Amino acid sequence: MQEYSFVKKALLRELSENARATITELAKAAKCSRTTVINNLGALEKEFGIRYTIEFNEDEMNFSQRHVLRIEFTKKPKPEFIDSVFKDDKVAQFVAWIEGQFDLFVYAITDSGRRYMKWETDLAIKLAQYRPKIRPSEIEFTQLGYFPISNEVLEAITFPRFKLDETDKKMLLLLNENARIGYSDISRALKINDDTVRYRFKRIMKMGVIKRFTIAIQKPPTTYNTVLFARYRFGPGHESRASRIRNLYMDIDGPLPIMNTFQYVTPLTGTYRFFQMGCFEDEKAAQENGPGAQRKFFKEDIPTIYFGRIIKVIKGFLPYRNIDVRKNYQILKWED
């Protein structure tokens, strides 16, 4: 991979952790001048296709159903057909063509099990002529990473735990579309004064609906970007083996990478028991740290692994960024 300067790495890290950081704050983090930040920021946005957006606190929102789906076709559909299936889909937040042991990866969210079941049934019917094998699993706890949520979904959410009016929701939509939007731009868009914007902004932040303002890199510098599903025949000591592989996820990157190697890590319930997204320089590294690591650490659990490379995003945004993994990795602790 191309070597990047400390300034570019530091800017991506700071923007991943806080996309609303000021130019002065970014300059301090990157240990450079404001002019250097401004020049590099424009270059980074162009080179990496940066989208400034929101990582929502999904546990505090009305998202009771979060699923990842592995879809394999008996007969391959044309790309334009798949495009049409997901074009107006408000449940599927991310859809990608996969090259490997399956054909499509889908991340879907709904506010109830009934709505999810209806959506999955409708999807199976739409794809029926291609005899798909649809294998869903549910996310209960995300250890690392996020998926951007579309404004279409935000518009439909009622936020029952929060007292958000229509102006608040419109502000969230603007911030989700561009997390770096200024207060004055929000003021003009919503036709309210700056003081009201700042008051509403602070009130929304106190509610806890937003976990952080962050970025989504759409042009990753890595060429082998992957997804992996795994299931196990659980044996004694599985949790200690899971603890050992967790160190791989947290330690594989240097102190300041250009982009995290592992972007999304989560245990699952349902068809599969584990899912990860990774960004690698080549197939060798991807195999070694994906299927290879699973087989190495979980040999006693006889893992069944389905692995593939993302070749095209059909819907949504790649959830790639550069965060402090050790700081942000959530360790699953069982409740009594």
Give the pLDDT of residue 154.
85
Report long-range pairs for 188-197 (Cβ below 8 Å, ≥24 apart).
192/167, 197/171
> CA 132, CA 54: separation in Å to the nearest integer?
33
- Residue 241 belongs to a domain: yes
Q: What is the dihedral of CA 290, 136, 79, 153, to 10 degrees?
A: -110
- Residue 87 belongs to a domain: no
- Residue 243 belongs to a domain: yes
Residue 324 confidence (pLDDT) above 80: yes
Which amino acid is it at 31? K
> CA 44, CA 215: separation in Å to the nearest integer?
12
Structure tokens at 93: 């937040």
Phi, psi of 74 (to 5 degrees): -75, -40
For 245, half-sphere exposure in the C-beta direction (CA atoms, 13 angstrom radius) is 23
Structure tokens at 252: 């594989």
Residue 191 pLDDT class (50, 70, 90 cuts): very high
CB atoms closer than 10 angstroms to residue 3: 6
Q: Is 224 helix (H, G, I), strand (E, B) or coil?
A: strand
Residue 328 confidence (pLDDT) above 90: yes
> CA 307, CA 189: separation in Å to the nearest integer?
44
Full DSSP string of 9-67: HHHHHHHHH-TT--HHHHHHHHTS-HHHHHHHHHHHHHHHTEEEEEEE-GGGTT--EEE
Residue 160 confidence (pLDDT) above 70: no
Cβ(71)–Cβ(102) under 8 Å? yes
The secondary structure of the chain in percent helix, strand, coil, rounded to multiples of 5, reads 40, 25, 35
- Residue 55 belongs to a domain: no
Which amino acid is it at 154? L
- Residue 109 belongs to a domain: no
Phi, psi of 141 (to 5 degrees): -155, 115
Structure tokens at 83: 């495009």
Domain that includes residue 292, residue range: 224-310
For the chain, percent of residues with pLDDT exceeding 90: 86
Q: Is 257 helix (H, G, I), strand (E, B) or coil?
A: coil
Scan for tokens 């036709």, then name that residue.
191
* Nearest alpha carbon to residue 44 among 16, 19, 12, 18: 12
Give the pLDDT of residue 74.
97
- What pLDDT digit, counting tens, does each position of 291-319 carry? 999 999 999 999 999 999 999 999 999 99
Phi, psi of 264 (to 5 degrees): -145, 125
> CA 244, CA 51: separation in Å to the nearest integer?
34
H-helix or E-strand spanning residue 296: helix 291-297
What CATH number corresponds to the domain at position 246? 3.30.70.920
* Helix/strand number for the chain, H first, E second: 13, 10
Mean pLDDT of 256-270: 96
Give the pLDDT of residue 12.
97
What CATH number corresponds to the domain at position 26? 1.10.10
Give the pLDDT of residue 211.
94
- Residue 144 belongs to a domain: no
For the chain, the domain total comes to 2
Cβ(311)–Cβ(210) under 8 Å? no
- Residue 257 belongs to a domain: yes
- What pLDDT digit, counting tens, does each position of 44-83 carry? 999 999 999 999 987 777 777 999 999 999 999 999 999 9
Give the pLDDT of residue 78.
95
* Nearest alpha carbon to residue 144 among 279, 293, 239: 279
Structure tokens at 85: 């299936």
Distance of CA 225 to the CA centre of its chain: 13
